[in-house]
Amino acid sequence: MLFIQILSIIGILLSLYTLYLHVKINNNANYRAICDINDRMSCTKTIKSKAGKIFGIPNGIFGIGFYVLLLILIYLNFINYVFYLAVLGLISTVYFAYELYFKMKMFCLVCNGIYVINVLIFIFALNN
């Protein structure tokens, strides 16, 4: 479970960064994230898109909640629930990756980092 804890902390940090970007972008229409490479590789465009929110709430908030909940479940030794949450994370990763890559034809460095973390969390949860 140590690897899931480490990955969850990294996930919290990446989710905090996406939330930071969301706030910066909403306060300054000309703001460009450091992870913007070009028109197709852009965190800013991804966060501004409809896929950047669920029910009007920035994905970063859901990400923070997800990773904090994982840490709490590990602390409480609810390992089965960690697995179920990892499955939910994998499903959401597949959905958002589909939205990003195939519908929007975009690439987001931070999003991809989160996707990798979610896949690794699933793999480590599967092996416990």
Which residues, including other chains, have CB under 8 Å from residue 125's CB and lie 6 or more apart? 4, 82, 83, 85, 86, 87
Domain count across the chain: 1
Residue 13: CATH number of its domain: 1.20.1440.130
pTM over cut 0.85? yes
The whole-number mean pLDDT for each consecutive block of 10 residues of the chain, a chain of 128 residues, reads 97 97 92 91 91 92 98 96 97 95 94 97 94
Look up the domain containing 106 and give its range: 2-126
H or E element in which residue 57 lies: strand 57-58
